[in-house]
Structure 1
Amino acid sequence: MPKLVDHTVRRREIIQATWRLIGHHGADAATMREIAREAGFANGALTHYFADKEDLIRSAYEYVYEQTNERVAAVAQGASGLTALRAFCREVLPLDELKLHEARVAIAAWSRAVVDEQLAQVHGRAMANWRTALVGWLREARAAGEVTSPAEEGVLADQLLAQLMGAQILVLSGVAAPGADRQLAALERFLAQL
């Protein structure tokens, strides 16, 4: 009797193997051969699920985005305004090993998005969705009296996204990298200025 293969599960295993390799060793270490080995498959098996390494990196980036959104939904459930905004930020900032791995995948994807139109679109949609959520929470916060800044919510959302993405780059650059305490202090300072 032939072995039944759940292609959705297998695809997810390959994406997770890609995520782990990039998270631990960077995008250059995530060759098709190494991804197959990490996932426990023959090298040729990957081509049944992904066209090439760029397709895998796009999928790994989408996986990180989805995982972050699931965590945000869980921690921000029932919250609004600055409470929800703070919860979102704490899930994006590279405060622990999991989020450091996610930041490595995200940064690898950003650098490729310059030349990969599909990845640029994936990234653009992800950032547009996050920006929409941030603007919504900022409007809730303003309505509740938590935000008094005269700056428009869209501008504040852009500033916050830049701060979050910048923190990922700073932490991974290793040059005077801010630890979790400094990242959280910078976040709280930003929120206090609202």
Structure 2
Amino acid sequence: MSRVQKIISKTEKINICKEEIAGKVERLFHEMSYLYVVLDYGVAMGLYENGNFQVCMGSGKKIASIPWEYVQELAVFNQYQELRLRYVQNRFCGRYCADEDDGESETYFMDEVQKLWGNVELEEDGYCLLTSFRGSRLWVPVISDGPGRIQKQMGIKVRTYMDFPLASERKGLFLKKDERFLGICPWPWKGDGETDEILYQSI
């Protein structure tokens, strides 16, 4: 967990139909970004780049286009921005959040890494398969600058935006305004022998 810092950020409310999503993402995202998709029948992750929405699903590594007819929630995100949408009454509603120099206002934020449940069973073509003793299986994409050592566990970077009402008078009180995903990363490894089973039993 990082210390509290200040940043210039902007937020825009979004309300669009399914057919408008691709164009909206193409206008906002100009580099490879992560995808998080909640479907009627499961959860998938993948990558967006140059108009292509690709997710990885199934017991074997099967990369396919997003099945839009089953999408209930969608997040497109990278280090600098996130678009998050939910399917509500035949529309996709949500918000776009971005950190940039010409943003609307200065706000406080704090970054942390949250655990992605499961241990890395295998790595293949830029994806890690996370499995757990509960039977869950999730293919997670990893955007890398080059080869690295095999990771045992993975996490997701999360940025929390906050405000301090009357901070000079009421120290320690804060208001959580928003949060967004930043990217996928290795889970800070605590030592040999630590698994999800051990973490689960210790809670």
TM range (shorter): under 0.3
Could you tell me the TM-score, scaled by structure 2's length? Answer: 0.24
Report the structure, 1 or 2, having the larger strand content: 2
Could you tell me the TM-score, scaled by structure 1's length? Answer: 0.25
Report the structure, 1 or 2, having the larger helix content: 1
